[in-house]
Chain A
Amino acid sequence: MKDQQPGSLLSAVVLLAAMTPFVAPAQNLPPPTDSETVLQYKNRVAAAVPESATRPVSANLAEVPKQVAAKTTSVAAPGGFPERVNDALADFIPLVAFAVNSVSTADDKKSVTVAFNPLPAGTYGALSASATVSEPQVFEPVAQAINQAVRDTQVNVIQSGIDDFGDVTWSVTYGYQPRASSWEKAGTLWGRDYSLYANLLQAAADRIVSDFKGLATGTGFNSKLNRAFPEKHGAIDTLTFGEIKSAIRDARLQEFDFDSYVECLRAQGEELANLDAATRALHFEALPALIDNQPQLTLTTTYRDPNKFVGQKTYGVGISLETGNRNFNTVLRTYRLALEKGNVAVINQPTPVDVKSLGKAIETVATETKKGTQTKFVLALGFQHHDQYDLDYAYQTSATASQRFVAAQSPETVSLHLPASDEWTAKLQWSTLFLSTTVAGGNPRFDLSAEYLGVHNDPARQDRTIGRVSYTVPLQGGGSIPFTLTYANRGEFLGQQNKLLSAHLGLSWKIDTPNTKGSGS
């Protein structure tokens, strides 16, 4: 390869250093010691570069929600039911591993969900399927139909005959997820799957590196070191400066200016530190929280086909809309506004990402915690149809010794026939955090929720409507005072109240100690 002259290399280094926009050079860095390796010195230079104003925005809104951090794709191994199901799945999943996205156990350990890889469905969406294996429980009407004297025993007998896969619910969800081809063309985006935004994020990362001018400054030195130290097999970063000096003294290294080499390494370290600073200026660390606030529109169908003792076949369909006001779309709007203010004609034509404006937009949206409101909205509508249920089950009332007071060998039969039934559900939730108002170091919060359940042909249940409005004022020390107004169409849904409307003034607090976390009201 063609070696470059150290003089011209040094000029290039100085020029590159002068062009660096983000961080100042590391001044007064002690020279390398004889025992220090080249790699150690490079890392020392990088670490010595002063921190710029591109520190992460981790303190406030950018803090990633705990549920995101808790996401797992590994199989949990708790005791009991989920452990048995996971063991069984572990034998089966390798056969379909290409299709399985994740296996997760519910917090209450009563169900295990297998999620399959999403499939694209047209230009604007994706289909994702899952199977939830719930711990089978004997259908309550069946249990109630058994003679009370032997009910517990018979329920246990029935329960022992149901295998762990006796209550499986299959679901297929369509998510509206239009993909954006570029930052400039992205309109309002939907969906909370990070992969939907990966191409945009990678375009920004690409732009940063393409702005990086490279490190050709070290080529001449590296070639000479490689020839002088063939025993290193190319790994010249493992050389110590003592070895290099010794090689110069022994004339093993010729035409090698040690001081210029050290200066070159220092300039390289600074240039790479600039690259690092440019990356951090994008504030990618704030994006997960913003993506988790993106609008999400899903249509879900479910099918449950349980063991005959567990319940009715059920078919369901539901639609859900969720959104938050500080999200990735806000970043897109802020970014485009910045470009338009800068008279950058980018709309409808792909142009390189303006990383400075983008980083500023992300930082602005993620850190504006003292302005306006932070709102979340959920609307869900659902319909379920339960098939007709017929069960005839014969048992003996003297089945076990514990029932010695019951007449021996008395045959009884459960004959249960439930008609097909339907249910409609609707749920609305709205919460607003008033960021511009501060009380006791916190922000007041407004919550509105409404829930409706309409049943048809199900004598065991009744229609239900509950509405709740709440305004919560924070207190010092993590406590709060919630003012709540609740409406219900039936008194039993108001707890101890027997009126249709109740008001509640409470006090709630959180207790955080090194070993316990709790709350009460």
Chain B
Amino acid sequence: MPFMGTWVRESAGKLKFVATFSDNVLVANLHVQDTLGGDTVGQKSYGQTELSKGVSLDLERGHYYVLVLFVFPVSQSHGCSAKVVMTADSDKLFDGTCNATVDQSNFIFQLQVD
């Protein structure tokens, strides 16, 4: 369950999240939690197909977003991976690979908009 990082943005805008999955993915899911002042104001889930096509989120000023990427492998012995690109207004926040095993299948991204 590694943290992939916390980013602070100065302005509202668009966040784009795209994932490319390896073979051997049993289920993949991105859950986005939108909080304002400590309260959850919205939640949305995206399945593997949507993530492969890319999802776009409207970032609002003052909000704090927690993105949890779940990737579960079909095979414990082989694991699986998701190559993720996360971009906010043409600024690449994360461009890397999340390797999923049984012990490590969740990846946390956090984003705050000032």
Interface residues of A (CB under 8 A from B): 1-2, 4, 12, 38-39, 42-43, 46, 56, 58, 62-64, 68-69, 71-74, 194, 198-199, 201-202, 205-206, 209-210, 212-219, 222-223, 225-227, 233-238, 272-273, 275-276, 279-280, 284-285, 287-288
Contact = CB atoms under 8 A, between A and B. Distances in A.
Contact of B105 (A69, A212, A279): A279
A284 B27 contact: yes
Majority secondary structure, A binding face: helix
Interface string B36-59: 011110010101100000000000
Nearest to A292: B74
17 contacts: A12-B38, A39-B5, A198-B47, A201-B27, A202-B47, A206-B45, A209-B33, A210-B43, A214-B40, A215-B66, A216-B35, A223-B112, A226-B10, A226-B112, A234-B10, A237-B3, A287-B26
B9 interface: yes
A194 B26 contact: yes
A234 B45 contact: no
Contacts of A58: 76, 102
B43 A222 contact: no
Contacts of B47: 198-199, 202
B29 A206 contact: yes
Given A12-B38, A69-B77, A202-B27, 18 more contacts: A1-B113, A39-B5, A56-B76, A64-B75, A68-B75, A201-B26, A214-B64, A222-B112, A223-B114, A234-B9, A234-B93, A236-B6, A238-B5, A272-B1, A273-B1, A279-B70, A284-B27, A284-B72
B84 to A, nearest CB: 16
B35 A68 contact: no
A374 to B, nearest CB: 19
Contacts of A4: 37-38
A73 B7 CA distance: 36
B14 interface: no
Contacts of A212: 33, 66, 68
B27 A216 contact: no
Nearest to B105: A279
A42 B108 CA distance: 11
A166 to B, nearest CB: 31
A285 B35 CA distance: 31
B6 A237 contact: yes
B6 A222 contact: yes
Interface of B: 1-3, 5-10, 23-24, 26-27, 29, 31, 33, 35, 37-40, 43, 45, 47-48, 61-64, 66, 68, 70, 72-78, 91, 93, 102-103, 105-106, 108, 110, 112-114
B106 A206 contact: no
10 closest A-B pairs by beta carbon, nearest first, are A276-B1, A1-B62, A226-B8, A209-B31, A216-B38, A69-B75, A285-B102, A201-B27, A56-B102, A234-B8
A217 B112 CA distance: 12
A72 B23 contact: yes
Nearest to B70: A205
Contacts of B8: 222-223, 225-226, 234, 236
Contact of B23 (A38, A42, A73, A285): A73
A43 B48 contact: no
Nearest to A66: B77
A222 B112 CA distance: 8
Given A43-B2, A216-B39, A236-B6, A205 B29 contact: yes
Contacts of B31: 205-206, 209-210
A17 to B, nearest CB: 15
A4 B114 CA distance: 13
Nearest to A56: B102
Contacts of A69: 24, 74-75, 77-78
A357 B33 CA distance: 24
Contact of B5 (A206, A235, A279): A235
Contacts of B68: 209, 212, 275
Contacts of B24: 69, 71
A209 B27 CA distance: 15
A340 to B, nearest CB: 26
Contact of A63 (B43, B73, B76): B76
Contacts of A209: 31, 33, 43, 45, 68
A284 B24 CA distance: 13
A173 B9 CA distance: 52
A38 B68 CA distance: 19
Contacts of A216: 35, 37-39, 64
A202 B75 contact: no
Nearest to A235: B7
A272 B63 CA distance: 19
Contacts of B5: 39, 235, 237-238
A223 B112 CA distance: 8
A196 to B, nearest CB: 12
Nearest to B73: A285
